[in-house]
Structure 1
């Protein structure tokens, strides 16, 4: 991969990582409800899970989905169902105190966030697009790792920014009515973020 191609890859990684999607909507909400520090495992889980997803697509799993589109349909249905369940939990969180004290209301763990990437349609589109555009057939192993490096280099800043923005809103959303409206809005946006990928 040439220097110019790698720079183009970094731009692609940044633009696709910083835009709204399921991960970023959940990080924003987690920042509001749990604060930045408690959201760090969620951030790291996204990075780890997405890195593994890129490697899986780059090393051949993407070809399996191309050959058998019904498997991808199953993935989209599972991912959509899981996101609806998460959206429901976001929408029904009533206060910051509940988010801190309720056993059911807690931030995603590193493992949960990593596993979520396997059913996140936007993550699949990003990984597939990056591999298709930037991986050379004669250097697919090296290029897969370069794509992982590019996404991790910019992704950690993008995901941290969304969680940090949510944390910044925490004081303003201490009012239960504002928080309720915010959580319902985030739940709706989370569901809407799936629309382009599930068509």
Structure 2
């Protein structure tokens, strides 16, 4: 991989990781409701789960979708359904200090990692990284390099959203204000489904 291609890929990884999407909306809400420390497994699960997804796409899963496009379509709509469920959970989240019930628990590492497989933006990012920035020479090595670099860039990028949410905790201490914030985050998560429902292709 040339230096120019490497710089271009890092820019791609940063922009696609830091811009709004399902992961970042969920991390912003998690930062508000649970704080930065309790949201760390969520952040790490996103980055490492996405790294595995990129490797899987590069090592053959992308070709399966090319041969059976109906599988990709099915995955997109399963992902959309799950995102609607997550939006409902965020809208009904309890107060930051609430320790009762399922709503008081942030995403675990495994939950966040597994979520990448039904996150439509993650699939678009992974396919874009492999098809655009991965040289064919020493392809397997380059796939592993791309996946590892993406994870390294992704973690601090999504962490900015968690940190922003954590900084808003005091301002959102009023239960009514917090309720409004969570509903707004849920709506933004639903809005992030627009490219899927409108059947838009390209990087989100």
Range into which the TM-score falls when normalised by the shorter chain? over 0.9
Q: Does structure 1 residue 108 correspond to structure 2 residue 107?
A: yes
Quick one: distance in 1 between partners of 2:165 and 2:132?
A: 33
Q: Tell me the residue number matched to 2:93.
A: 93
Quick one: distance in 1 between partners of 2:124 and 2:196?
A: 8
Q: Tell me the residue number matched to 1:4.
A: 4
Q: CA contact under 8 A between 2:46 and 2:112: conserved in structure 1?
A: yes
Q: Tell me the residue number matched to 1:73.
A: 73
1:120-199 matches, within 5 Å, as: 120-198=119-197, 199=199
Q: What runs of 5+ residues in structure 2 fail to find an aligned partner?
A: 200-204
Once superposed, what is the RMSD of the aligned Cα atoms? 1.1
Q: TM-score, normalised by structure 1?
A: 0.96
Displacement after TM superposition at 1:97 (Å): 3.0
Q: CA contact under 8 A between 2:93 and 2:103: conserved in structure 1?
A: no
Q: CA contact under 8 A between 2:130 and 2:143: conserved in structure 1?
A: yes
Q: Does structure 1 residue 50 correspond to structure 2 residue 50?
A: yes
Quick one: distance in 1 between partners of 2:109 and 2:93?
A: 21
Quick one: distance in 1 between partners of 2:11 and 2:73?
A: 29
Displacement after TM superposition at 1:94 (Å): 4.1
Q: What runs of 5+ residues in structure 1 fail to find an aligned partner?
A: none
Quick one: distance in 2 between partners of 1:156 and 1:60?
A: 25
SS at match of 1:138: coil
Displacement after TM superposition at 1:177 (Å): 1.1
Quick one: distance in 2 between partners of 1:47 and 1:132?
A: 20
Q: CA contact under 8 A between 1:122 and 1:197: conserved in structure 2?
A: no
Residues 123-142 of structure 1: per-residue CA shift (max 9 Å, x gap): 00000001010112232211
Displacement after TM superposition at 1:103 (Å): 3.2
Query: Greater CA deviation, 189-198 or 117-126?
Result: 189-198
Quick one: distance in 2 between partners of 1:149 and 1:94?
A: 36
Relative to structure 1, is the Cα distance of residues 19 and 193 closer, same or farther in structure 2, using a 3 angstrom cutoff?
same
Quick one: distance in 2 between partners of 1:143 and 1:6?
A: 11
Quick one: distance in 1 between partners of 2:180 and 2:132?
A: 40
Q: Write out the 4+ residue segments of structure 1 that deviate beyond 3 Å after TM superposition.
A: none
Q: CA contact under 8 A between 2:94 and 2:103: conserved in structure 1?
A: no
Q: CA contact under 8 A between 2:39 and 2:106: conserved in structure 1?
A: yes
Q: TM-score, normalised by structure 2?
A: 0.93
Quick one: distance in 2 between partners of 1:144 and 1:158?
A: 21
SS at match of 1:97: coil
